[in-house]
Amino acid sequence: MFDAGKLLNQIFGAGGANNPLSQIGGVLGGLFNDSVSGVKDGAAAIEQKTGIGAKADAALKNATGKSGGDLLNQAKTLATENKAATGAALGGLGLLLLGTKGGRGFLGNAAALGGLAMVGGLAYKAWQNFNAGKSPSEPGQIEAPPAASPFGETGNVDQDNATAMLVLRAMIAAAACDGVVDNEERSRIIGALEGAGLDVHAAKFLDAEFAKPASIAELASAANTPALAAQAYTAARIAIDSVSAQEKAFLSDLASALKLDAGLVAQIDAGAAAAKG
């Protein structure tokens, strides 16, 4: 067993809009030979220009003391010896699961809240607005849900870990629903995480989930309360950016399986889109 909440926080932290590691993530494909096959436009845009953008190159220098070219020539050493390797690999994973067009991360305080609090906060706000009969709108400053609510972190370690696990599984299933997560690149990312010292159980979990993402039925079965159902859909929605036909179908089927009201779904969609800028 591993701390799913900690892993979720690491992914969200690496994907933050103001975190240099979010830009390092954009060049992870260059560091490990190839980009994730068409997954996120941000990574592709960076790699098309000599494999690394100026801002990402500066971020790499700040984090490692080396230029992008140096690191491209020393990828294996970076993965096994450099303390920045974990951050770079998590940045790549964050870009895969949370990336937006143009490589943007979450806005404002979203990443700073922590993964579970952020997902729970978005779901809770959507729930509030839906029950108040408000029209779907941007959530403004995202806040952690109240401690007494069933959203986000509840203080029950086992329950919170299970919720974080559900959030991770929903994000991965959503990211993989259009079938473009390249198996070889997935292995490279997971291998980089393992080589850089990520908890072996966490790395194995990620590898297994990308190899065989949770089905909609499995996610719905695990989301056995209204709050969990709302958070599972929120997690899936923030992992999807372009909303292709396949992604729309996935989200529609997931919302149906979770038995979410269309009004609540609209609230979550609006909040997730706003949070990603």
- What pLDDT, on the 0 to 100 scale, is given for residue 52? 42
pLDDT tens for 46-76 read: 344 434 445 445 554 554 555 545 544 544 4
Q: Is the pLDDT of residue 12 over 70?
A: yes
pLDDT tens for 197-226 read: 678 888 888 888 888 899 999 999 999 999
Phi-psi region of 17 (alpha: psi -120 to 50; beta: other; left: phi over 0): alpha
Is the Cβ–Cβ distance between 75 and 32 less than 8 Å? Answer: yes
User: How large is the average pLDDT for residues 228-233?
Assistant: 98
User: How large is the average pLDDT for residues 260-269?
Assistant: 96
| Residue 179 pLDDT class (50, 70, 90 cuts) | confident
Within the chain, where are the H helices? Answer: 4-14, 20-24, 28-31, 41-47, 54-64, 68-73, 75-81, 85-98, 110-113, 115-131, 157-175, 183-195, 200-211, 216-222, 226-238, 245-257, 262-275
Q: Which of 103-117, 173-187, 244-258 has the lowest mean pLDDT?
A: 103-117
Nearest to 19 by CA among 104, 96, 86: 104
Is the Cβ–Cβ distance between 236 and 171 less than 8 Å? Answer: yes
Q: In angstroms, rounded to a whole number, what is the distance separating the alpha carbons of residues 15 and 220?
A: 26
Hey, CA dihedral for 8, 14, 15, 16, is it positive or negative? Answer: positive
Q: Which residue has the higher pLDDT, 210 or 88?
A: 210
pTM across the whole model: 0.72
- Output the CA torsion 203→10→116→141 (10° steps): -150
Structure tokens at 262: 């269309």
Nearest to 117 by CA among 160, 173, 174, 60: 160
- What pLDDT, on the 0 to 100 scale, is given for residue 40? 38
- What pLDDT, on the 0 to 100 scale, is given for residue 100? 47
SS (H, E, C) 176-196: CCCCCCCHHHHHHHHHHHHHC
Q: Is the pLDDT of residue 83 over 60?
A: no
Q: Could you state, in order of their start, the residue ranges of all structural domains in the chain?
A: 4-103, 110-177+213-275
